[in-house]
Amino acid sequence: MITIKSDREIELMRNAGKLAGLCLTEMGKLVKAGATPLELDQACREWTARHEAIPAPLNYKGFPSSLCVSVNDVVCHGIPDNRPFQNGDIVNLDVTPILNGYHGDTNATFFVGEVPEKVQQFVETARESMWAGIRQVRPGNTVGDIGHAIDTLVRARGYSVVLEYCGHGIGRNFHEDPVIIHVGRPKHGVILKAGMTFTIEPMINMGKAKTVLDEEDGWTARTADGSLSAQFEHTVLVTPTGVEVLTLRPGEKIPEPK
């Protein structure tokens, strides 16, 4: 059931979103060669507690960590381990603090040291695809408009959009309706209304879209062909006139369309 947030709930979502953006910024500073995902997990747990919040991923349906750390071919839900980051890795960090009962959910893909230009272009496409979807958010548009904008941009660059994992409504609950699929047809699907809050978080692969789930941990999703995967995410609010991005990082600007 899709919830329309009240003015009070929207203010609580703004606060949680602002904290999420700050958390992601601070965790991103720790992504460097030699650091380990487990070190980031501990840092996230401690940082969140200092800000009187709770890391939503921790123990969510059995997930063992305070954030997701997805490296190279890991599409999403990477469980932090003790393997150090290496120069040339790409690392997605996904954080979701709960503040005063409401969730702020955001992620970004970071570089470890120098990466090839073709990898930089690929990751930039993931970022641009998220913003292409966000630009479709306004009352009267549909979930299909969001997905179509994302998929059109990604396919034009020669990459693929992951189908199994989607954006989602968010608020008092980590995952609510509507489901935000990152492919779609214009003017199809759920109609957007002011007061909706949800995430837009396209995962794109340098190779084919298919993913495989780690049978041992039941969480880690990887590209089936071993190609790189990148992702960016923001939590957004549908306003009466358009969209408000709730999880902007400090200093992050909304880019102009290219």
Q: Express each pLDDT in 179-217 by its tens digit.
A: 999 999 999 999 999 999 999 999 999 999 999 999 999
Quick check: is 251 in a domain?
no
Quick check: is 219 in a domain?
yes
> Measuring CA to CA, how many Å separate 216 from each of 44, 219, 221?
25, 8, 11
pLDDT for 155-178, tens place per residue?
Answer: 999 999 999 999 999 999 999 999
CATH classification of the domain holding 119: 3.90.230.10
Close Cβ partners of 122 (under 8 Å, ≥ 6 residues apart): 159, 204, 206, 228, 230
Residue 53's domain spans which residues?
A: 7-245
pLDDT at 141 over 80: yes
pLDDT at 1: 86
Q: How far apart are CA 164 and CA 132, in angstroms?
A: 20
Q: How far apart are CA 225 and CA 233, in angstroms?
A: 24
pLDDT for 69-127, tens place per residue?
Answer: 999 999 999 999 999 999 999 999 999 999 999 999 999 999 999 999 999 999 999 99
Quick check: is 179 in a domain?
yes
Quick check: is 252 in a domain?
no
